Structure 1
Amino acid sequence: MQKRLNIKEVAPNALKAMIGLEIYLSQASISKTSKELIKIRSSQINGCTYCINMHTQDAIKNGETNQRIFLLQAWRETQDIFTEEEKVVLAITEEITLIHQNGLSDETYSNALQLFSETQIADIITAIITINLWNRVVLSTHLLIGQSLA
């Protein structure tokens, strides 16, 4: 794999802006569990091993179980493993991450309105957009597990 640019060195202000989103999300209205599920699921869809590795470790540190992480790709087929709120978060995550397939559907958005405030939905969307941004930077720059982005 060809060595590529280091975004911190080449575009430090872009990296600062991305970190600004992370600072916002650290105080957002959604749970740490939801944030990590979003990060892991989006990273799985995008094939970002760097982010999958990082966020599964973070999730475990925050109390997430191995079982739920192992079953995350098949969350729709699980019965009692994920809460209704988490299932809606995961549906939103998939629809936004796979935006080229239709984007966030009216049905999923309506389901979210039944469980979350508009502020929480905005935070969920922001979390999804942010991890997709990180995935694209990592994949585009060929960052490897163990290398530092920031």
Structure 2
Amino acid sequence: MNTRFDYYKACPEATETMLKLEEFIKGSGLDTTLYELIKLRASQINGCSYCIDSHTSDLKKIGETDQRLYLLPVWREVPFYTEKECAVLALTEAVSLISEAGVPDDVYDQVMKHFDEREFMVLIMAINTINSWNRIGISTRLLPKQR
């Protein structure tokens, strides 16, 4: 299997727009670990191999444990994530799978225990951005490099 084409070369202005969203989120004050957990969990849901590889690596670089990385798909079943992380992971799943049930009130209420309305919007933008990257990666068949 090969990458179909270089999306940046094909349309740099679209890629630059996506990168501006990344800059906004990084400058928003959102915790780096939380942002990377959002990216990894959404990428797992969407099945983007390149993004799963990339964000697993990024989390390892900032000190994330192997155990938490391995167990992220089953985060509800283990006591290794904080209440705040669980709220964000639930929101990530709800937004990534929005057509299934929207964002249920209990998920919204759980998130709002830890974040204000502005921060909620930053979370939504972070989730939307990684979902967009996943769709770009999958559509162009962006593949991780073997190490």
Any idea what the Cα deviations from partners look like across 1:69-88, whole Å, max 9, x if unmatched?
01101100112x00000000
CA RMSD of aligned residues (A): 1.4
Q: Percent identity?
A: 45
Whether 2:11 is the aligned partner of 1:11: answer yes
Match of 1:47 in 2: 47
Q: Give the conservation status (yes or no) of the 8 Å contact 1:75–1:87.
A: yes
Alignment check: 8 A CA contact 2:2 2:143 kept: no
In structure 2, give the amino acid aligned to 1:20.
Answer: K
Gapped regions of structure 2 (runs ≥ 5): none
TM-superposed CA distance for 1:49, in Å, is 0.9
Cα distance in 1 between the residues matched to 2:130 and 2:105: 22
Deviates more, 1:7-16 or 1:90-99: 7-16
Contact 1:38 1:89 in 2 (8 A): yes
Cα separation, 2, equivalents of 1:142 and 1:29: 32
Distance 2:68 2:33 in 1: 11
Look up the equivalent residue of 1:30 and give its one-letter code: L
How much does 1:2 deviate? 6.1
**Do the aligned residues in 1 keep the contact of 2:3 with 2:143 (CA within 8 Å)?**
no
SS at match of 2:113: helix
Alignment of 1:36-115 (within 5 A): 36-79=36-79, 81-115=80-114
Partners of 1:11 and 1:135 lie apart in 2 by: 16
TM-score, normalised by the number of residues in structure 2: 0.94
* TM-score normalized with structure 1 length: 0.92
Q: Structure 1: which 5+ runs fail to align?
A: none
